[in-house]
Amino acid sequence: MDIEVRIRGLMVDPSTNMPIVVLKDVGSEAVMPIWVGPFEANAIAIEIAKESGQRPLTHDLLRNVIHHLNAELEKVVITDLREDTFYAALWLRQQGESVMVDVRPSDAIALALRSDCPIYVSEKVMEAAKLSQTIVPEGTSSEQLKGWLEGLNDEDLGRYKM
């Protein structure tokens, strides 16, 4: 079963200075952090702020290619967590057929924002990410991080925003 999530915030991990995309389950208070690279975080931040450049960026290009191939991005799903790496898939529909394409979660999120399509996380990934000690920065317990993320309010998100 897949859980629909929304971006709760884009921030910098105060202990590692790495960008984090915080996904929140739309049906509960559960949150799931995904550490991403600075370039991917920038692509997500640009779309959150609804900024646009003079020329299309990579995710804009992919959105345009999908559109010009008469396809539609139906959803993105964060499908797996293996050896501290998240995996994701794009679900496209073209001429009545569903097509799945493997993708990095950060790219899937950036494209989903540009295409206004839903973001999902598989239930097993949500559970694993909430409990996994290995995705938490060194020196921080998963419970400490969970408490820190759940305790963030809108003012905190503004302070840590990219």
Model confidence over 31-47: pLDDT tens digits?
A: 889 989 999 999 999 99
| Mean pLDDT across 13-33 | 87
pLDDT digits (tens, 9 = 90+) for 34-80: 989 999 999 999 999 988 888 988 999 999 999 999 999 999 999 99
Q: Encoding tokens for residue 46?
A: 């640009």
CATH classification of the domain holding 152? 3.10.690.10
Strands 31-35 and 71-82: unpaired
Residue entry with tokens 């924002």? 113
Cβ count near 55 (within 10 Å):
7
Q: Look up the domain containing 143 and give its range.
A: 2-160
pLDDT digits (tens, 9 = 90+) for 92-122: 999 999 999 999 999 999 999 999 999 999 9
Q: Encoding tokens for residue 68?
A: 């010009």
The pTM of this model reads 0.80
Number of structural domains the chain divides into: 1
Q: How far lies 116's CA from each of 5, 37, 119, in Å?
A: 13, 22, 9
